[in-house]
């Protein structure tokens, strides 16, 4: 993930509350912009979850399946399981408590398309997608 852009935002919510929202996959359609989110499977300890969702961008729609791993109380990582348009989709949320009522959220996203022509625009797409999800997460935390 070293070539993935890392974007960061400060959210005025406690770290555990933000992690709770990030782990509530059934709630993603209400705030994330991802459509038809479904939990496919979840490990007994809830550390790994496979989710399926649809993404639409630039006139293209894809059904994507990823495995999300909660590696500790402040880190979520994911990797691509299945997609029609992508060969790679990896990412990580890293949260750092700033105090009892706020945290910094760093988000890294890396993708690679099966069609090499789309890869020329991948850096721009990664940054745009990362900015959108961080802004939407921040807005969601204000709502709750």
Q: What is the rounded average pLDDT for all residues in the chain?
A: 92
Judge whether residue 134 has pLDDT over 90: yes
Kindly state the average pLDDT of the residues 86-102: 97
**117 or 51, higher pLDDT:** 51
Judge whether residue 129 has pLDDT over 70: yes
Report residue 69's pLDDT band, with 50, 70 and 90 as the boundaries. very high
Show the DSSP H helices in 65-121 as ranges: 116-119
Kindly state the average pLDDT of the residues 123-140: 93
Question: Cβ distance 77 to 92 under 8 Å?
Answer: yes
CB within 8 A of 86, min separation 6: which ones? 62, 64, 80, 111, 112, 113, 114
Query: Tell me, what's the pLDDT at 22?
Result: 96
Kindly state the average pLDDT of the residues 107-116: 93
CATH code given to domain 6-143 = 3.30.530.20
d(C-alpha 95, C-alpha 10), whole Å:
10
Return the residue matching tokens 């909660």. 70
In the chain, domain spans = 6-143
Kindly state the average pLDDT of the residues 49-53: 97
**Residue 21 corresponds to which tokens in the numbers above?**
């929202």
Query: Tell me, what's the pLDDT at 2?
Result: 53
């Amino acid at each position: 993930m070293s070539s993935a852009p890392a974007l960061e935002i400060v959210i005025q919510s406690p770290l555990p509350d933000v992690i709770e929202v990030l782990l509530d996959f059934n709630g993603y359609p209400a705030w994330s912009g991802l459509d038809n989110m479904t939990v496919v499977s979840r490990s007994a300890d809830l550390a790994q979850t496979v989710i399926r969702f649809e993404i639409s961008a630039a006139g293209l729609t894809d059904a994507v399946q990823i495995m999300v791993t909660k590696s500790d109380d402040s880190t979520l990582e994911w990797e691509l399981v299945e997609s029609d348009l992508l060969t790679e989709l990896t990412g990580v949320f890293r949260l750092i408590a700033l105090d009892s009522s706020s945290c910094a959220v760093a988000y890294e996203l890396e993708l690679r398309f099966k069609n090499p022509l789309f890869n020329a625009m991948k850096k721009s797409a990664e940054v745009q997608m990362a900015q959108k999800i961080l802004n939407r997460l921040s807005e969601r935390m204000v709502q709750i």
